[in-house]
Amino acid sequence: MQLVLSEDQELLAKTAADFAAEHAPVSRVRALRDARDPIGYSRDLWRQMAELGWVGIPFAEQHGGADMGLAELVCVLEALGRGLAPEPFLGCVLLAGRAIQRAGSEAQQAAWLPRIASGDVVAALAYQEAGSRYDPTRIEATAAPRGSGWRLSGQKIQVLDAVGADLLVVAARCGGGIGLFLVASDATGVQVVPQTRIDHRNAALVKLDDVDVSQDAALGSPDAGGALLEEVVDYASVGLTGEMLGSMARAFELTLEHLKSREQFDAPIGSFQALKHRAANVYIEIELCRSAVMAAARAVDAGDAEAAELVSLAKARCSDAALLTANEAVQMFGGVGMTDEYDIGFYLKRARVAQQTFGDAGWHRERWARLRGY
Amino acid sequence: MQLVLSEDQELLAKTAADFAAEHAPVSRVRALRDARDPIGYSRDLWRQMAELGWVGIPFAEQHGGADMGLAELVCVLEALGRGLAPEPFLGCVLLAGRAIQRAGSEAQQAAWLPRIASGDVVAALAYQEAGSRYDPTRIEATAAPRGSGWRLSGQKIQVLDAVGADLLVVAARCGGGIGLFLVASDATGVQVVPQTRIDHRNAALVKLDDVDVSQDAALGSPDAGGALLEEVVDYASVGLTGEMLGSMARAFELTLEHLKSREQFDAPIGSFQALKHRAANVYIEIELCRSAVMAAARAVDAGDAEAAELVSLAKARCSDAALLTANEAVQMFGGVGMTDEYDIGFYLKRARVAQQTFGDAGWHRERWARLRGY
Amino acid sequence: MADIAEFRADTRAWLEQNCPPGLVGRGSNPLEGVWGGRKWTFSDPDRKRWLERMAERGWTAPSWPREYGGGGLSPAEAKVLAQEMRSLRIPPALIGFGLTMIGPTLLQFGDEEQKREHLPRIGRGEIRWCQGYSEPGAGSDLASLQTRALREGDEFVVTGQKIWTSYADQCDWIFALVRTKADGKKQEGITFLLIDMDSPGVSVSPILLISGSSPFCETHFDGVRVPVRNVLGTIDGGWTVAKALLGHERSMIADAFGSAGGASSRRGLPDVARDHLGEDQGRIADPRVRDRVVQAEMDARAFMLTVQRTRDAAKAGHQPGPESSIFKVYGTELNMRRHELLVEILGPQGLGWEGEGFDDFERELTRDWLRSRGNSIEGGTSEIQRNIIAKHVLGLPD
Amino acid sequence: MADIAEFRADTRAWLEQNCPPGLVGRGSNPLEGVWGGRKWTFSDPDRKRWLERMAERGWTAPSWPREYGGGGLSPAEAKVLAQEMRSLRIPPALIGFGLTMIGPTLLQFGDEEQKREHLPRIGRGEIRWCQGYSEPGAGSDLASLQTRALREGDEFVVTGQKIWTSYADQCDWIFALVRTKADGKKQEGITFLLIDMDSPGVSVSPILLISGSSPFCETHFDGVRVPVRNVLGTIDGGWTVAKALLGHERSMIADAFGSAGGASSRRGLPDVARDHLGEDQGRIADPRVRDRVVQAEMDARAFMLTVQRTRDAAKAGHQPGPESSIFKVYGTELNMRRHELLVEILGPQGLGWEGEGFDDFERELTRDWLRSRGNSIEGGTSEIQRNIIAKHVLGLPD
CATH of the domain at D376: 1.20.140.10
Looking at the structure, do residues D175 and D251 belong to the same domain, yes or no? no
Strands B177-184 and B218-219: antiparallel
| DSSP-derived secondary structure letter, B15 | H
Q: What is the pLDDT of residue C338?
A: 94
List of chain D residues whose C-beta atoms are within 8 Å of the C-beta of residue A290: 306, 309
* Average pLDDT estimate for A116-141: 97
Task: Verify whether the Cβ–Cβ distance B134 to D286 is below 8 Å.
Answer: no
Average pLDDT over residues A161-176: 96
Whether residues D249 and D383 share a domain: the answer is yes
Look up residue C246 and give its amino acid: L
Which among A274, A330, A353 has the least Cβ separation from residue C351? Answer: A353
Name the neighbours of A, counting chains with at least 3 Cβ pairs within 8 A: B, C, D
| pLDDT above 80 (res D252) | no
What integer is the mean pLDDT of A218-241? 95
| Arithmetic mean of pLDDT over chain C | 92
pLDDT digits (tens, 9 = 90+) for B105-155: 999 999 999 999 999 999 999 999 999 999 999 999 999 999 999 999 999
* B277 contacts on A by Cβ (under 8 Å): 274
Taking CB atoms and an 8 Å cutoff, what residues of chain A touch B272?
273
Residues of D in contact with A259 (CB under 8 A): 396
- The Cα–Cα gap between B278 and B328 comes to 8
- Number of structural domains (chain D) is 3
Lowest mean pLDDT among C258-272, C296-310, C372-386: C258-272
C112 occurs within a structural domain:
yes
pLDDT at C28: 79
SS3 C153: coil
Among D236, D264, D284, identify where a domain stops.
D236
Cβ–Cβ contact B365 with D under 8 A = yes
The C-alpha of C210 sits at a distance from chain A's nearest C-alpha, in angstroms, of 5
Contacts of C162 (CB under 8 A, 6+ apart): C132, C133, C134, C135, C147, C174, C176, C218, C219, C220, C221
Q: Which pLDDT score is estimated for C249? A: 79
CA distance A194 to A184: 17
Measured between alpha carbons, how far is residue A75 from residues A53, A239, D98, D106 in Å?
13, 9, 42, 41
Residues D18 and D114 in one domain: yes
Top-tier CATH class for B124-223: mainly beta
Nearest chain D residue (CA) to B262: D137
- pLDDT attached to residue A3: 94
pLDDT beyond 80 at D326 = yes
C254, pLDDT greater than 70? no
DSSP 8-state symbol, C318: P
CA distance C283 to chain D (A): 13
Q: Is C249 a catalytic residue?
A: yes
Q: Are strands C173-179 and C216-227 parallel, antiparallel or unpaired?
A: unpaired
| Reported confidence tier of residue D315, pLDDT bands at 50, 70, 90 | confident
Output the pLDDT for position A51.
98
Q: Is B360 on the interface with D (CB under 8 A)?
A: yes
Average pLDDT score over chain B? 97
Alpha carbon distance A333, C373 (integer Å): 12
**For residue range A178-213, what is the model confidence (pLDDT) as tens digits?**
999 999 999 999 999 999 999 999 999 999 999 999
Is the separation of the CB atoms in C223 and C301 below 8 Å? no
Domain-by-domain residue ranges, chain B? Answer: 7-121, 124-223, 226-371
Mean per-residue pLDDT for A151-162? Answer: 98
Mean pLDDT of chain D: 92
Contact C367, C293 (CB under 8 A): no
The residue from D89, D123, D157 where one domain ends is D123
> Cβ of B274 under 8 Å from any chain A Cβ?
yes
Q: Which residue of D has its CA nearest to C291?
A: D288
Residue D62 pLDDT > 60: yes
Closest CA in chain C for residue A156: C357
In a domain, D398, yes or no: no
Cα–Cα dist A290/A5, whole Å: 12
CB-nearest partner of C139 from A323, A331, A334: A334
Q: Are residues D185 and D309 in the same domain?
A: no
- Same-domain check for residues C140 and C75: no
Strand partners, A191: A207
Mean pLDDT of D150-177: 96
Segment D35-46, tens digit of pLDDT: 999 999 998 999
Is residue D141 pLDDT above 60, yes or no?
yes
CATH number at residue D148: 2.40.110.10
Residue C144: helix, strand or coil by DSSP?
helix
Question: Do D57 and D13 touch, CB atoms closer than 8 A?
Answer: no
Chain centroid to Cα D233, Å, comes to 22
Which fold is adopted by the domain A226-371?
Answer: Butyryl-CoA Dehydrogenase, subunit A; domain 3 (1.20.140)
- Report the first-to-last Cα separation within chain B, whole angstroms: 26
CA distance C397 to chain B (A): 5
According to DSSP, residue B321 is labeled H
| Rounded mean pLDDT, D360-378 | 95
Q: Average the pLDDT over B302-317 and give the result.
A: 97
Nearest-5° Cα angle at B161, B155 to B163: 70
Measured CA to CA in angstroms, residue D248 lies from A368, D105, D252, D261 at distances of 35, 8, 6, 19
- What's the pLDDT score for residue C262? 43
Give how far the C-alpha of residue C287 lies from the chain's centroid of Cα atoms, to the nearest Å.
Answer: 36
Q: Chain C: nearest CA to D190, how far in angstroms?
A: 30
The ipTM value here is 0.94
Q: Rounded mean pLDDT of C194-220?
A: 96
A267 has a chain B CB within 8 A of its CB: no
Nearest-by-CA chain D residue for C290 = D288
A142 Cβ contact partners less than 8 Å away, ≥ 6 residues apart: A152, A153, A154, A172, A173, A174
pLDDT of residue D254: 67
Cα distances from B260 to residues A152, A288, B271, C389, D137, in angstroms, run: 73, 36, 8, 15, 15
Specify whether C177 is located in the same domain as C255.
no
> Whole-model pTM above 0.90?
yes
Q: Is residue A6 less than 8 Å (CB to CB) from chain D?
A: no
pLDDT > 70: percent of chain D: 95
pLDDT of D10 reads 95
Residue D287 touches chain C, beta carbons under 8 Å: yes
Name the E strands within chain A: 123-126, 142-146, 149-160, 167-174, 177-184, 190-194, 196-197, 203-213, 218-219, 263-264, 267-268
DSSP state of C30: G
Share of chain A above pLDDT 90, in %: 98
CB pairs under 8 A between B and D: 114
Evaluate if residue A142 carries a pLDDT over 70.
Answer: yes
Residue D383 has pLDDT above 50, yes or no: yes
Asked if pLDDT for residue C261 goes beyond 70, the answer is no
Do D298 and A313 make contact, defined as CB atoms within 8 angstroms? yes
Domain topology for A7-121: Butyryl-Coa Dehydrogenase, subunit A; domain 1 (1.10.540)
For the cut 70, the answer to whether the pLDDT of residue A282 exceeds it is: yes
> What type of residue sits at position C212?
G
pLDDT value for D255: 67
Q: Residue D113: what pLDDT?
A: 97
Asked if D276 and D364 sit in the same domain, the reply is yes
Q: Which of C337-341, D22-26, D144-148, D320-324 has the lowest mean pLDDT?
A: D320-324
Q: How far is it, in rounded angstroms, from Cα B100 to Cα B105?
A: 8
| pLDDT (0 to 100) of residue C1 | 55
**Stretch (H or E) spanning B174:** strand B167-174
pLDDT at C9: 95
pLDDT tens-place string over residues A315-331: 999 999 999 999 999 99
Q: What is the pLDDT of residue C316?
A: 84
Q: Does B372 touch chain C (CB under 8 A)?
A: yes
Which chain A residues are closer than 8 Å to D329 by Cβ? 280, 284
**How distant is the Cα of B95 from the closest Cα of chain A, in angstroms?**
38
Report helix, strand or coil for D346: helix
**Residues on chain A touching D317 (C-beta within 8 angstroms):** none
Shared domain check, D110 and D13? yes
Query: What integer pLDDT is reported at residue D261 of this predicted model?
Result: 40
Which of the following is catalytic: D84, D135, D249, D362?
A: D249
Question: Which is the catalytic residue, given C249, C279, C297, C340?
Answer: C249
We report the CATH number of the domain holding residue C75 as: 1.10.540.10
Whether residue D97 is found in the same domain as residue D197: no
Touching check for A2 and chain D: CB below 8 Å? yes
Residue ranges making up the domain that contains C19: 2-123
Residue of A152, A151, A99, A89 lying closest to A125 (CA atoms) = A99
Which pLDDT does position D320 carry in this prediction? 66
Round to whole Å and give the CA distance between B21 and B47: 17
Task: Report pLDDT for C260.
Answer: 41
D386: nearest CA partner in chain B: B274
Q: 3-state DSSP helix/strand/coil percent for chain D, to nearest 5?
A: 50, 15, 30
Same structural domain for residues D151 and D230? Answer: yes
Task: Report CB contact under 8 Å: B360, D347.
Answer: yes
List of chain C residues whose C-beta atoms are within 8 Å of the C-beta of residue A362: 286, 288-289, 344
Report how far Cα B212 is from the mean position of its chain's Cα atoms: 29
Is residue C323 very low, low, confident or very high in pLDDT (cuts 50, 70, 90)?
Answer: low
Q: Do domains A7-121 and A124-223 have the same CATH topology?
A: no
Using an 8 Å CB-CB cutoff, list chain A residues near C374. 330, 335, 338
Is any Cβ of chain D less than 8 angstroms from the Cβ of A205? Answer: no
Mean pLDDT score, D82-92 = 92
Across C273-291, average pLDDT = 93
How far apart are alpha carbons A309 and A297 in whole angstroms?
Answer: 12
- The verdict on a CB contact (< 8 Å) between C312 and B2 is yes
Helix D287-315 / helix A361-372 crossing angle, nearest 10 deg: 90
What band does D16 get if pLDDT is binned at 50, 70 and 90? very high
Q: Could you tell me if D142 and D119 lie in one domain? A: no
Q: Chain B: list its partners (3+ Cβ pairs within 8 Å).
A: A, C, D
CB atoms inside a 10 Å sphere around CB B305? 8
A277 touches chain B (CB under 8 A): yes
Look at residues D236, D271, D298 and tell me which one is the last residue of a structural domain.
Answer: D236
Q: Residue range B288-306: average pLDDT?
A: 97
Please state, in angstroms and rounded to a whole number, the distance separating the CA atoms of residues B62 and B53: 13
> Would you say residue D145 has pLDDT above 70?
yes
Instruction: Look at residue B28 and tell me whether its pLDDT is greater than 90.
Output: yes
Sign of CA dihedral A333, A339, A343, A349: positive
Percentage of chain B exceeding pLDDT 70: 100
